[in-house]
Chains A and B, each alone.
Chain A
């Protein structure tokens, strides 16, 4: 079992993408099949950017064992008002300046869902959001 935590700060666009890039490197080194490495990397990138754009700060946790890879994104707030809406393609609450940077197209969470085997999201206003994406290595 291998596990590592990557803190992600809010609004830090300069370093956005670094955590997911590190996650990808680790998975490659460990010898995870390339298609799963890609899926985890995409999900990690999307969740990392969500932390940068929407959260008050949080962390990504990568856990790997020979059967399952789990990617957890956890933040300290503000929480999602309507989770079902947030999961809809094209729905975004990102402000204009973020959209001008090419983000906030409303594809983040749908993309995470599309690129994992099992998806869970729990959010509470004022408390924060936790997203879990699981990947099963043995079925592939």
Chain B
């Protein structure tokens, strides 16, 4: 079976504890026959289960780091949070030099794509022609969460693809023109803070296919980048400590605004609006979307939500502690020029282009409803309420469902039985034991 999502459960390691089922914001995990199982249609790729598993049985599915031999040319897109992962990194040039050292032919920083997105959003907000607040799709979890849980907000999703996708598309465009090669000959690899980006390749939303051809886990590349950085530093030292980052030049270097988007609030700052809501963490995001859905937050123009705490610097595949990363990201961004995005030639080239937009509408997904038929769904709901009342209500998770309520729901859906509840089972056993004792002690008639 083709797996659509970015998290896989290693069944050899999973012990069937209930940590992951408890933390999943869409109740998409169950423990069945002693192993966790992801309900694919409900998963939004937020990565909470990756973080919660004490046994590391949740595996982020990313592209294996190997030789770059699938395409004649290879582009790398370093994520906005990459700069914050290296203690000794002083300039983008140093990082880029190290990335070239890994064998890439062209570098396009995601931060640069984020600057294009920010300017496009600024123009959109100024035009007034959008469903406000506009929900940025920079975090790949957001469009998945909205199409599954917040159908009223589908029209609020940004018309612009994520900075990752913008970067891949722009990078391929620029490189193919520069080198006069066909785009099909170019592979584009993203160094990712999270696995959710991988899902966009396997199971794209709003676009026919992704221009990102592979997603490398930052953790897996970390040591190789670090080695490359160290080698370059040693080489420079041999030359008498002179700065020599000739080899680290990129065609379109990102500025402070772009790099700043790695921290939640950074995109809003780049867009330059006061009427924004910057929210981080999946539970906070759910809470805010709920408020927006209930029309309780007004006069908002932009919502920048990140499923990870802190923003992309809090990604599950990153190495550094998010707070340290935040601090470094801020200092690194401040060392870069703050481009005037409105008059930036490269940005202007793409802000009006269909290349940075979604090309298909988002379709609502009815993953939470009990039945397609309202009448049947109501009967199921009635039955479910009855079952909920008969369950202990302590949400222990031993049955494999995250709460007593979810167990009741699973039962009416035919995916669980009441005896999955260990308390119910114990009561039943007590009754049976009593009956057996009664039978054994019954006097034989006659």
Contact = CB atoms under 8 A, between A and B. Distances in A.
Nearest to A28: B368
B369 A41 contact: no
Given A2-B382, A42-B295, A29 B152 contact: no
Interface in B325-369: 364, 366, 368-369
Interface string A50-80: 0000000000000011100000000000000
B152 A4 contact: no
Interface stretch (A32-40, A92-100, A116-124): A32-40
A21 B379 CA distance: 21
A1 B382 CA distance: 9
B402 to A, nearest CB: 14
Interface string B365-389: 0101111111101110110010000
Given A38-B293, A38-B294, A66-B375, A30 B152 contact: no
Interface residues of A, number: 22
The binding surface of chain B is classed by DSSP as helix
Nearest to B374: A66
Closest 5 CB pairs of A and B: A31-B369, A34-B151, A2-B378, A30-B377, A34-B152
Given A26-B381, A34-B151, A137-B374, A45 B294 contact: yes
**Chain A interface helix/strand/loop/mixed:** helix
Contact of B369 (A21, A29, A35): A29
Interface residues of B, number: 24
Contact of A31 (B295, B374, B409): B374
A102 to B, nearest CB: 10
A69 to B, nearest CB: 10
A64 to B, nearest CB: 6
B152 A35 contact: yes
Interface string B277-315: 000000000000010011110000000000000000000
Contacts of B151: 34
A41 B294 contact: yes
B385 A4 contact: yes
Nearest to B369: A31
A30 B293 contact: no
A66 B379 CA distance: 11
B330 to A, nearest CB: 33
Nearest to B384: A29
Contacts of A34: 151-152, 364
Contacts of B382: 2
A30 B294 contact: no
Contacts of B295: 38, 42
Contact of B378 (A21, A30, A37): A30
Contacts of B294: 24, 38, 41-42, 45
B369 A30 contact: yes
Nearest to A30: B377
